[in-house]
Amino acid sequence: MKNIVATDRLCFSFNGTEILKDITFALKRGEFLGIVGPNGSGKTTLIKLLLGLMAPTRGSIALFGRNIGDFHEWSRIGYLPQRITGLNPHFPATVEEIVALGLIAGKPFPRRRSRTDRKPVEEAMDLMDIKVIRNKLIGELSGGQQQRALIAKALVASPELIILDEPTTAIDPETRERFFTTLKDVNRKRGATIIMITHDVGTIGQHASLMLYLDKKVVFYGGFDEFCMSKEMTDYFGEHSQHLICHRHENVISNIEGLHGPG
């Protein structure tokens, strides 16, 4: 099966400081990658490289089988940035207008909106439960409501690859649950590939099929079960974190208990 994303010995330096070193990983259709790591470990930089927002110092990136330099089908990718800091509270676009912006990537110049755009916009707003605030200005909403609108914008074009940078930081537990259920649906039923940066390892553990633990270089890359039992995870999250984080996998827990012994 063709790789959706593949990086090969990817390096990035800024002002002589090495931010990322020799990052190699590949994702196939329908895989769900959780990226974790301490602050300043290069998680957001990696995502920006994957989106072509920054150029790597060395190494290569391929999207949907094509070198990133030759890749132009950006509508196949949905992106949710880390919270838009400095969002102008007077920005005059309504929630509906913002969600619809997610559709313009796939349109040829002059990117006119059409009647057929209405359906996906309605569905995306429905999904994130923001129909009631559709006519409100984005800048006047609470942080959580803004985040829901931005998630809807990222999902509206039914992208094949979804890249999310800490998507659930500002939203309430109920909406977070609904968001993950939706994401799981998109991942399993539509086969969308997902890359998500998060600090919420407990939640990502319930959904991700692969984990990438980054600290300027790849510290761990592999399946979630393997990640749960790895030394790297214990080092990073603490000795007893497995019980909390790996609660979805009975076998992993029993393995861990087997390793640590009773009591």
Partner 1 sequence: MEISEFFHHGFIQRALIAGCFIAALCSVLGTFLVLRRLSLIGDGLAHVTFGGVAVGLLFQACPFYVAVPIVMASALGILKLTDRARLYGDAAIGIVSSLGIAGGVLIASVAGGFNVDLFSYLFGNILAISAAEVWTSVVLCLCLIMAITLFYHELVAISFDEESARASGIKTGRINRVLVLLTALTVVLAMKVVGIMLVSSLLIIPSVTALQFSRGFRATIVISCLTGMISVIAGIIISFMLDLPSGATIVFLNFLIFITTFTSVRLLRKTPAPGT
- For partner 1, the binding residues (CB under 8 A) are 51-53, 72-75, 77, 79, 81, 84, 87-88, 90-94, 97-98, 101-102, 104-105, 107, 109-113, 135, 137-138, 140
Measured from the CB atom, the residue of 10 and 245 that comes closer to partner 1 is: 10
Q: Which is nearer to partner 1, 21 or 113 (CB)?
A: 113
Minimum distance from residue 164 beta carbon to partner 1 (Å)? 12
Nearer to partner 1 by C-beta: 79 or 179?
79
Give least dist CB 85 to partner 1, A.
Answer: 10
Nearer to partner 1 by Cβ, of 101 and 244: the residue is 101
Residue 64, Cβ density class (10 Å: 0-12 exposed, 13-18 middle, ≥19 buried): middle
Residue 213: name the closest of 243, 191, 235 by CA: 235
Residue 9 corresponds to which tokens in the numbers above?
């010995």
Residues 6+ apart with CB under 8 A from 144: 170, 171, 172, 175
Shortest distance in whole angstroms from residue 107 CB to partner 1: 8
- Please state the length of the chain: 263
For residues 165-187, one letter each, b for 16 or more C-beta atoms within 10 angstroms of the residue's C-beta and e for the rest, the string is: bbbbebbeeebbebbbebbeebb
Residue 49 or 211 having the CB closest to partner 1: 49
CB 141 → partner 1: shortest distance, Å? 12
Nearest to residue 44, comparing CAs of 155, 219, 197? 197
Supply φ then ψ for residue 202, to 5 degrees: -60, -45
Q: CB 36 → partner 1: shortest distance, Å?
A: 22
